[in-house]
Amino acid sequence: MSYFLNTYRTPNPGKEAEVIEGVQKSMESLGVPGLVSVTISPPNAHLESTKVTAVVPLPDANEVDALMDAIFGNNMAALKERSELSGLSRQENMSLSRVRATNIDALKEFDPKYIMRRFFQPKMGKLQAFIDLMSDWMSDVDLNFAYNISTPVGGQITSVRITHITESFALMQELHDNIISDNRLSEQQSLIERPGVHSLGRITYSKRP
């Protein structure tokens, strides 16, 4: 069973580039693979500020322990080293998620540019049915993209995030059109409480394991 850790930061006005660079350097200093992205089309752009999100893949529970030890161990030296980065942000947090299905490891020579995160809330008792449907659906799409289906370790217990990563904006749009025209959309709607929401980001840094 694999996991990933997201860190979220909302830069102070005018500090976006410094936060992006700082997050990248932080990942490099920890020696971890992953992505850094910046929101370019959030669900409520008129109400939300730009966010910088980092993703660190963790192959198993032991790697979760190892990363937490690296962050919080040694008298929290890693956190203290990042205090300047925290000072550039007006909000920051982290979130651990469990991977339910993905094809990322199968992609070779993939140059990620855009990331779409879609958030759904399946009905009670329908979580696994929803995950199974979306896993089969994503594996059937004949396009060059990465997907990841995950559930958060904390938060709403029936929440599901479906992540799509593409090498171009045009391909992301083609993927979106493919999904909304699929006959399985009605089955998806029958398994969720309400329509999902999505957020588009531009990937600024990527390092594979």
Q: State the pLDDT at residue 89.
A: 95
**Percent with pLDDT over 90 in the chain:** 80
The DSSP secondary structure of the chain, one letter per residue, reads --EEEEEEEEEPTT-HHHHHHHHHHHHHHHT--EEEEEEEE-TTTTT----EEEEEEESSHHHHHHHHHHHHHHHHHHHHHTHHHHHTEEEEEEEEEEEEEE-GGG--S----EEEEEEE-BPTT-HHHHHHHHHHHHHH--SS-EEEEEEESSS-TT-EEEEEEESSHHHHHHHHHHHHTSTTHHHHHHHBSS--EEEEEEEEEEE--
**Chain segment 130-188, per-residue pLDDT in tens:** 999 999 999 999 999 999 999 999 988 889 999 999 999 999 999 999 999 999 999 99
Number of domains in the chain: 1
Q: Give residue 156's domain range.
A: 3-207
pLDDT of residue 30 exceeding 90, the answer is no
Asked which of 17-26, 100-109, 119-128, 191-200 is least confident by mean pLDDT, the reply is 100-109
Residue 39: CATH number of its domain = 3.30.70.100
Give the model confidence (pLDDT) of 84-100 as tens digits: 898 999 999 999 999 99
Q: What is the mean pLDDT of the chain?
A: 94
